[in-house]
């Protein structure tokens, strides 16, 4: 069994190197497992111009409308986060928002959130969180505003400078006793969407609830994520960006790097610490150091993707 | 075991009802407060299992800072989203076991066991 695993790992590594040569956008952490010498091998290979360097941002869990002890004004902290983006000397190409845009899916909350992020003047790609599904139409308010051109419950994909981005929805049709769910229709769409793409193309997948099980007792995972990950396994560089848990966690599995972002609204406890995954009240002076955004940088020419988290206090 | 839970829930419901009366100065206990209450607290339905006779009105109250819903697995009842301190009541007119969950946080499950009168 372990022999087989080792062998499989070796094949994956070779596949990964090919990707590095082609696009230069592999995950840094994938190289953390004692294959540093592979970098020089990679650097010896001439790199064709494919994916170009660029930066994009991830914001998450803005919960506009939230006004409870853990943060009396989540709209204001979202505005602060967006101000930081506006002030950046080098503009990112676009922003992704990984859900829980609003607290209760109210029109006013969606309006406020949209007006705030519009100040960046940048393209924004949304996915909904479970808090964005609370209108009478169970998600219609979100789809009417942000779902133009999407499929099913709002999933879509796009390409940017050689990188393929996939936006998945895992907050609808949830089942009793379960966690997040992608559903058969979306998985079938994903299979078609990825079919025919070269394994060397870098992939970024984003969704609200983590696509790996961070903590099942609190529902911090997606029941059928394994089926999506199986479709992604052949790609040399896959980055999975999620929100929902309001804190940074990361993990590497083969060529897939998982990362969750901070919220701009309120922190939540570390998995299993405390009675529930609800808002964590911290001393007021600490709040800003527990809220933040994530910067993703693709550098051309053999450098791996870099994810940098910054707080509202910094 | 269910009897104990039920007694606890009833005592709790009564005390909540009394507290409400004092707070609003009304002499009448509201219909919703007359039946047992399931409290949603720290992402848990309490009690998780409740046994009641047919005809009982059960009230759920959300005491979290996060919204929740109460949705029957067989879709026989479904609350709107309940923000902090909001309530939902449902009257059980048929015997049986009714599993329910929060459609936002589906790991939150509970059940109401309705006994024939």
Q: Read off the pLDDT of residues A174-198 as tens digits, 9 standing for 90 and up.
A: 999 999 999 999 999 999 999 999 9
Q: Note the CATH architecture for domain B2-115.
A: Sandwich (2.60)
Strand partners, B72: B100
Mutate to test the interface with B, among A245, A265, A276 (most CBs of B within 10 A): A276
Q: What is the Cα A146 distance to its own chain's centre?
A: 17
Residues in chain B closer than 8 A to A174 (CB atoms):
103-104, 106
pLDDT per residue as tens digits for the range B46-105: 999 999 999 999 999 999 999 999 999 999 999 999 999 999 999 999 999 999 999 999
Tally of CB atoms within 10 A around A266:
24
Query: How large is the angle between the packed helices A2-23 and A37-44, nearest 10 degrees?
Result: 40
Q: What is the mean pLDDT of chain A?
A: 85
Contact criterion met (CB below 8 Å) for A70 and B65:
yes
Query: How large is the angle between the packed helices A74-86 and A107-118, nearest 10 degrees?
Result: 20
Q: Is A283 on the interface with B (CB under 8 A)?
A: no
Tell me, what's the pLDDT at B60? 98
A185 compared with A90, residue with greater pLDDT:
A185
Tell me, what's the pLDDT at A35? 26
* End-to-end Cα spacing for chain B: 19
- The Cα of B27 is separated from the nearest Cα of chain A by a number of Å equal to 32
Judged against a pLDDT cut of 50, whether residue A219 lies above it is answered with yes
A residues 23-62 near B, CB within 8 Å? Answer: none
Tell me, what's the pLDDT at B94? 96
Most distant CA pair in chain B: distance in Å? 39
- The Cα of A301 is separated from the nearest Cα of chain B by a number of Å equal to 43
- Distance in angstroms (rounded) separating the CA atoms of residues A109 and A252: 35
Q: Which domain holds residue A100?
A: 2-311
Q: Domain boundaries in chain B? A: 2-115
Site of tokens 């199986």: A230
CATH of residue A56: 3.60.21.10
**Which DSSP symbol is given to A20?**
H
The total number of structural domains that make up chain A: 1
Tell me, what's the pLDDT at A52? 66
pLDDT per residue as tens digits for the range A127-180: 999 999 999 999 999 999 999 999 999 999 999 999 999 999 999 999 999 999
Q: Do B43 and A178 touch (CB under 8 A)?
A: no
The first and second tokens of residue A272, run together, are 């299993």
pLDDT per residue as tens digits for the range A255-295: 999 999 999 999 999 999 989 999 999 999 999 999 999 99
- The Cα of A69 is separated from the nearest Cα of chain B by a number of Å equal to 9
Residues in chain A closer than 8 A to B105 (CB atoms):
130, 219, 277
Q: Do B104 and A217 touch (CB under 8 A)?
A: no
Contact criterion met (CB below 8 Å) for A10 and A226:
no
Give the helix, strand, coil percentages of chain B, each rounded to 5. Answer: 25, 35, 40
Q: Do B67 and A176 touch (CB under 8 A)?
A: no
Q: Do A174 and B106 touch (CB under 8 A)?
A: yes
B residues 29-58 near A, CB within 8 Å? Answer: 42-44
- Distance in angstroms (rounded) separating the CA atoms of residues A167 and A96: 9
Q: Is B72 on the interface with A (CB under 8 A)?
A: no
Could you give the 3-state DSSP secondary structure of residue A249? strand
The answer to whether the bond into B47 is cis (omega within 30° of 0) is: yes
Residues in chain A closer than 8 A to B70 (CB atoms):
none
The first and second tokens of residue A74, run together, are 């989540």
- List Cβ<8 Å contacts ≥24 apart for A41-46: A41/A17, A42/A17, A42/A302, A43/A302, A45/A21
Most distant CA pair in chain A: distance in Å? 58
């Amino acid at each position: 069994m372990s022999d087989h695993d080792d062998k499989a790992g070796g094949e994956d590594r070779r596949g990964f190197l090919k990707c590095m040569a082609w696009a230069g956008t592999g995950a840094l952490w994938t190289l953390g497992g004692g294959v540093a010498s592979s970098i020089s091998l990679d650097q010896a290979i001439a790199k064709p111009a494919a994916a170009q360097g660029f930066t994009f941002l991830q914001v998450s869990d803005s919960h506009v409308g939230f006004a409870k002890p853990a943060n009396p004004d989540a709209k204001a902290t979202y505005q602060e986060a967006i101000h930081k983006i506006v002030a950046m000397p080098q503009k990112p190409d676009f922003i992704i928002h990984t859900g829980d845009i609003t607290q209760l899916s109210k029109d006013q909350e969606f309006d406020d959130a949209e007006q705030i992020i519009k100040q960046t003047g940048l393209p924004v790609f949304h996915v909904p969180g479970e808090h964005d599904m609370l209108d009478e139409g169970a998600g219609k308010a979100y789809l009417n505003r942000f779902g133009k051109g999407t499929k099913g419950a709002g999933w879509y994909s796009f390409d940017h400078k050689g990188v393929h981005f996939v936006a998945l929805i895992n907050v609808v049709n949830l089942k009793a006793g379960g966690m997040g769910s992608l559903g058969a229709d979306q998985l079938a769409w994903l299979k078609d969407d990825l079919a025919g793409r070269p394994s060397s193309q870098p992939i970024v997948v984003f969704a609200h609830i983590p696509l790996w099980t961070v903590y099942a007792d609190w529902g911090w995972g997606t029941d059928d994520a394994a089926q999506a990950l199986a479709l992604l396994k052949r790609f040399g560089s896959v980055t999975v960006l999620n929100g929902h848990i309001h804190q940074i966690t990361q993990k590497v599995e083969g060529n897939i790097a998982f990362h969750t972002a901070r919220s701009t609204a309120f922190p939540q406890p570390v998995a299993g610490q405390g009675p529930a995954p609800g808002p964590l009240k911290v001393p007021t002076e600490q709040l800003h150091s527990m809220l933040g955004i994530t910067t993703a940088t693709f550098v051309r020419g053999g450098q791996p993707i870099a994810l940098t988290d910054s707080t509202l206090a910094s | 075991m269910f009897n104990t839970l039920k007694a606890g829930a009833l005592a709790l419901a009564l005390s909540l009802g009394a507290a409400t009366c004092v707070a609003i100065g009304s002499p009448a206990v509201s219909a919703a407060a007359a039946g047992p209450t399931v409290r949603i607290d720290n992402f848990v339905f309490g009690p998780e299992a409740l046994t009641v006779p047919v005809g009982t009105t059960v009230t759920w109250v959300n005491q979290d800072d996060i919204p929740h819903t109460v949705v029957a697995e067989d879709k026989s009842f479904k609350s709107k989203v309940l923000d902090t301190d909001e309530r939902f009541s449902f009257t059980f007119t048929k015997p049986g076991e009714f599993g329910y969950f929060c459609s936002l946080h589906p790991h939150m499950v509970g059940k109401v066991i309705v006994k024939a009168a």
